[in-house]
Amino acid sequence: MRELYPEIEPYRTQRLRVDALHELHVEECGNPDGLPVVFLHGGPGAGVSPYHRRFFDPARYRIMLFDQRGAGKSTPHAELRDNTTWHLVADIETIREHLGIERWVVFGGSWGSTLALAYAQKHPERALGLVLRGIFLGRPGEVRWFNEPDGGASWIFPERWEHYLAHIPADERGDMIEAYWRRLDNDDPAVRLAAARAWGYWEGGSTTLVHDPLEPGSFEDPQVAISVARAEAHYFRHGAFLETDQLLRDVARIRHIPATIVHGRYDIICPVKSAYDLAKAWPEADFRVVLAGHSAADPAIVDALVGATDALADRFS
């Protein structure tokens, strides 16, 4: 089993203003002369973490990571104005041009896989290769699966679901996303934070294959809880700003690009059906279903992702 590469620090960090409102945190790691790769984090709203740098051989890759609009160290924090899938796609191009990169590998997991597909389909000439994990295509059924009473995930994590459900009065539970949104967009900071913590408790501890169903999860930090919950609810209630089945419909634009699709068999947040549908539409891609949950930290997913990035480095070296 391959493991993550050792911890590294950025050799450059910078602030990049992408419009009158938003300024992004951008960092570069690894070898300045290496194969360029851009890392697209999940959420939306979660931001990058130090372990995200470690999926790439630092001797062979020039690794670009950034916090998407409203996430992490980007400002304004948790800002949702001018924050759509297509604003983020434009931001990726702005970063590429700013850094003087002609083509690069695009790596994304969970929401990052959605964004990677949208970017590559919009700019196929800029993608050398794709590494995708925990596929989320932004379809209504995927959103309902994890967030609504008729979805199915509540049958697998009943302990966590009960906590998520209890935050919303019974007469509002027919549309949990809208009910949460009303609280996440409330003028009272205490109301917003309470809703964000309940939202994060449901999602944050449900990612790994082996976990404690009562463990608080990964969104205990108020800043992270607010940015993730607000951004996810915002994107979900707008259908990820995609047309129906758009990412499957437009796969033909990228079928010539080398790609690896990695998905955990027991991923409850993003069930494997989405990855299967993508692989059916994209038979040239290397499709790997592994014994894991949703988390990029599950050992089998680490093994597959590091193997995929090593293979691309071999191919383009």
Residue-wise pLDDT for 202-249, tens only, equals 987 778 888 777 776 656 788 899 999 999 999 999 999 999 999 999
* pLDDT for residue 212: 75
Dihedral class, residue 166 (left if φ above 0, else alpha if ψ from -120 to 50, else beta): alpha
| Candidate list 113, 250, 294, 298, residue with the active-site label | 294
Q: How far is CA 102 from the centre of its chain?
A: 24
Q: How many CA atoms lie within 13 A of 75 on its CB side?
A: 5
| Candidate list 41, 91, 110, 206, residue with the active-site label | 110
Longest dimension (CA), the chain: 59
* pLDDT for residue 225: 92
Q: Write the DSSP symbol of residue 67.
A: P
Give domain limits for the chain.
12-139+241-316, 141-239
* pLDDT for residue 245: 96
Q: Please say if 52 is a catalytic residue.
A: no
8 A C-beta contact, residue 290 and residue 262: yes
* Number of helical (H) and strand (E) elements in the chain, helices listed first: 10, 8
pLDDT digits (tens, 9 = 90+) for 70-92: 999 999 999 999 999 999 999 99
Report in angstroms the alpha-carbon separations of 72 from 198, 224, 270: 20, 7, 23
* Ranges 44-53, 107-116, 198-207: which has the least confidence: 198-207
- Residue carrying structure tokens 């493991």: 3
Report in angstroms the alpha-carbon separations of 270 from 82, 143, 203, 228, 293: 26, 9, 11, 16, 9
Q: What is the mean pLDDT of residues 280-292?
A: 98
Q: Please say if 238 is a catalytic residue.
A: no
pLDDT digits (tens, 9 = 90+) for 250-262: 999 999 999 999 9
- CATH number listed for the domain at residues 12-139+241-316: 3.40.50.1820
Q: Please say if 175 is a catalytic residue.
A: no
Q: Return mean pLDDT, the chain.
A: 95
- Residue carrying structure tokens 């994990």: 133
* pLDDT for residue 217: 63
Angle between helices 158-166 and 189-204 (to 10 degrees): 170
Report in angstroms the alpha-carbon separations of 303 from 2, 56, 104, 216: 4, 12, 22, 27
Tokens at 170, concatenated:
């019974």
| Candidate list 267, 274, 295, 303, residue with the active-site label | 267
